[in-house]
Structure 1
Amino acid sequence: MIAIGPVNLLRPEWLYALLALPLPWWWLRRRRADGAAWRRAVDPHLLPHLLVPGRTATHRIVAWLAAIAYVLLVVALAGPAWRQVEMPEWQSREPLAIAVDLSSATAATDMPPTRLAQMRARLTRLLQSPRSGPIALVAFADDAFTVAPLTDDAANVALFVDALEPSVMPVDGQSPARAIAQSRELIERAGFPRGRIVLVTDHADSASQRAARDARAAGITVSALGLGSASGANVRTPGGASIHVQLDEGSLRDLARSGGGEYARLALDGSDDAVFATGEGVARRAREGGRAWADEGFRLVPLVMLLALIVVARRPRAAALLLAVVLLPRPSLAADLFFRPDQRAWHNVDRGVEAYRRGKFDAAAADFAKADTADAHYNRGNALAKAGHLEEAVSAYDEALRRQRGMPDAVANRAAVLKALKQPPPKGGQQQQAGQKGGASSQSQQPRNCAPGDAACKGQSSSKTPSNGSPQKQNAASPPKPADATRQAQADAAQRQRMQQALQQAKANGEKTPEKSLTPQQRERRMSDEAALMRVPDEPGNLLREKFRLEHERRQLGGGR
């Protein structure tokens, strides 16, 4: 994309087509030169009998119009854009499995304060950011274990971040290949045909590269996030040995290349986001705040077509008249051109249902009015009642009953609205009265969007499809019943009072009873309960430690990983 003043060209490579514009000009010059040769070779009094007289001025105008049409066509193909529009953000359901290294190497201090602290902070930031796909967390050392399976609740995964430390692993060491295999198993077990794995560690070996290639062949990309620095640091293993660990970016890049993913060094400033983002996510970030340039090239097409008509037909007056007719502002008819009347009515009802759901009752009533069916008038009455226009709602229900006699919902709602109209206005002025009319609840459910013939809508009283394809009512909310609303308000007040009393009683019961009022049996029971609670371990990593230990022992006994 290039910018030329206020206009941006989305496909500027089409401008190379302008280089072909001199060819027609050269051809016209060549043709004129042929005519001049006849004038030089033939006597002037014989030229009228040999040459066909032409209109030079008209030909020049036609040539200029053709050149202008060609230039406009090229500009239209280049995609001119001068405004930005909101674009829907693509949501990817591709699963993401993050495999983190919890070996003793994460205690290295080459990423202050430690690699482990930096990794925890990065995971916390990632899990707090909005995402649309499921996420899983895997921890590995010499063996790999599932911390959290694939879930859409990232907050649930974040609960385990603070418990990640080398002490929860039953064995030390580093086996990225087992981490890739464990992550791949989580994705395939969940039934996803493809997914992504992000390996957070400081190096990769040949076994892990083979595992990445196998995962890529199965539709799962493997990326790597470098943990540590090139200089490295000394760490102490659980056995007491001191070893030097450092970041091997070359092996991690080879791993990402084998897995078809990306590589980046772990950073808290977001520079490593490409490792976690899909191609859709990268494209989304390229737009400015979810906005994209709108291609306006189609606006030039009618002018190009009319200029071409002038060039071909050479009828400027007729073409100018046609241009005026085409450029007259009027609503587009393309959307309704191929719709049957029943389909057009259904689309109007569908728009009304969406407006009703958003609380735009006046707009919903206007859309329902465009469909002249019993159910559309019924829905229009519901929308008008919600908007507080009770008299108009009664008329809408009457229209519905004229088209379908005895419609039960229309009869019930009409009676409720008439009863509301007969109620005297409450004290508190017109504002309170309007709030009472428009804010009361209803007995019937919200409208549902169902396409004609949709099997999912069968068997529901709120959305029916007749045999002729005409849309039935999208059952909008019914108008209020004043007597029921009064009884409901009284019941709510009584319920709130009972809840307050229950809360006060619970608070009083929760307070510590004075020791003097306790019996010996109650005092002994309290001491026993307190002792049992003190014996419950409250270390966050205990759960993971025991889980990983049991899983590791099971694998050892079973001969598996």
Structure 2
Amino acid sequence: MDAGVVHWLRPLWLWALLALPLGWWLAARRTRRGEVWRGVVDAHLLRHLLVVEAAPAHRRGRWLTGAAYVLAILALAGPSWRQVEQPLWQSHAPLVVALDLSTAIDRRDLPPSRLAQARAKLAMLLQQRRGGQVGLVAYAGDAFTVAPLTADANNVAVFLDALSSEVMPVDGQRIDRAIGWSAKLLRQAGFTQGDIVVMGDHATDADVAASTQAATAGFNVSVIGVGVATGAGGGFDEASLRRLASAGNGRYQRITMDDADLRGLGVLAPRGTTGAGDAESGGRHWLDEGYWLLPAVMLLALPLFRRGAVVAILVLALGWPLGAVQAADWWRRPDQVQHAAMETATQRYRQGDFAGAAQGFAQVDSADAHYNRGNALARAGRYQEAIRAYDAALQRAPGMADAEANRRAVEAVMKRKSPPGGKPPAGKGRPEAGDGRPGERGSAGADQGAGDPAVPQEQSRTSPSSQAEGAAPRPKPTQGADAAAQAQADAAQRERMRQAVAQGGQPSEGAKPGQGDRPAQTETAAERERRIANEAWLRRVPDEPGGLLREKFRLEYQRRLRQGGSSR
């Protein structure tokens, strides 16, 4: 319901209202203490001997105190008069599917093949399962992880077409190892309960024992029989699969063309899931409205403070919104404030806002700040200002090698005749450079070759005081997008070097940033031999999912053999 009578979320607090009459009685008793003297002292003398509070003020204070107390208790009791929708979230039981990828999966008793049917079943499971993490394990003579537990089914589906018996390094049908490895994945993900679904054609006593052990640990083992019970070979033993599921406190279903087997196992709706529903199902909850009473409680309590406190509190309340931002800096040392400004400017620099970065660096008067400001101005094409910024850095730190090198680089760019717009052609006369991001130095980065007239040699510089106790840590170079850009730049550089070698050792234009107008250096014999070896190694790396799985499983299996263990 949306409205109605008041509902108390914490009704036990209402018992505290019984303390109110007791408080009134104690206050009245204290007042009556003065009545004792009226029987032994004359009335005209008594008024000079007793100190009596002003009656109106005294009674007003009692009433204000009582009203504030009652409202506070009512607020604590949680009054509510409406309900709202509230989806209730519970943890979904995770699922690990262990698929048989031995040579038996290639049999064609299930048209067109067992493998095709198993792939289709996995695709149906990933598409129709509602919530919960899913993982995929392949097993033959040993068990291997195809995809770890993930909430994104697409991360598992990407490997479906690559599943085949050819990716397995050793043949066999070790379901026991598949169950043990699946339980290990669940434990490593922090789960104490979960489901394991084995897709196979028969089970041994060792497999049944492993299923029992997994069930004892809290992981139910269900089975999908992949095969046809013809009785004429084929290795399909439905009775052993039923024992396997029974020992694992799970269910057994033979593979079907529709989703009846998945529904029979109960894996499409993970255990423990709860969605939004009606009030009876817990999908609606009472909204706590007690906070509406708090302003009244505070107003009633204000006169109870000391004289002058009310005015001070009101002034503070009115002035707080204006000073909230400035107050944050009151608790930080000057070096921490400067470091925060440097951090903000560095982030703007990395985002390509060089003008904003220059303004941010200008807020700090240090050699490092002026150095970084010069880098930002150079990237923005404001060379004269960049030179002045480098000069300011050198004034504060004479002999700063990075500032001197970048100043010379900017001067060299200014000396060349620039096309309209003030930017010379990309790739010509580029000074020796980093990647154009504060925080990294001397690496060919993503910004090189992008047509910027100058990419000075840059290094993240923070004032020494910013490293003092309590200061924020130094900014670190960004990963992810920068790493991808780095790889792209490296690939482009290797291609330019290959073209240069093919042309007789003359690099293409812009092939080596940092050479300026000097003649490019030719590749030495040792460098050429190393490059060819690297290219040959890169050609051996598989670039499709099947090859990746095959190589991954092979290396993992060899590692296990060296360690003398198995997947369990």
TM-score by length of 2: 0.49
TM-score by length of 1: 0.50
